[in-house]
Amino acid sequence: MIRLTVNGQAQTFDGEPSMPLAVYLRDVLNIPTVRYGCLMASCKSCLVYVQSVRSLACTIPMSDMQNKDVSTAPEW
C-alpha cells in the first residue's frame, strides 16, 4: 500500500502501480482542478507540486509516490 499526502490530507493507494499520479488525483480522488490531456509530458496541463517541486503528474507513476507530499491548485 502506498501512503502519501495530498493537499495536507493522508491518502492511501492500493491500485495499479503504473497509474499516473494525474489520473489518481483527478479520477480516484476527484480533485477537479487537476487536469490531464496528452499523458505524455507535452501539454503541461497536469502541473502539480510534489515535495514542493513543480512536476508533471502524468509522468509520475503511483509506485514512486510512497511518503510523498502533493499539492494541487486551489479551487476557484
Q: How many residues lie near ligand FES (CB under 6 A)?
A: 13
At a CB cut-off of 8 Å and minimum separation 6, what does 68 contact?
A: 4, 5, 50, 51
Q: Is residue 13 part of the contact set for ligand FES (CB under 6 A)?
A: no
Interface stretch with ligand FES, choices 10-18, 23-31, 34-42, 61-69 (CB under 6 A): 34-42
Q: Is residue 36 part of the contact set for ligand FES (CB under 6 A)?
A: yes
Residue type, 74: P
DSSP string for 1-14 = -EEEEETTEEEEE-
List residues near ligand FES by CB under 6 A: 22, 36-39, 41-46, 56, 58
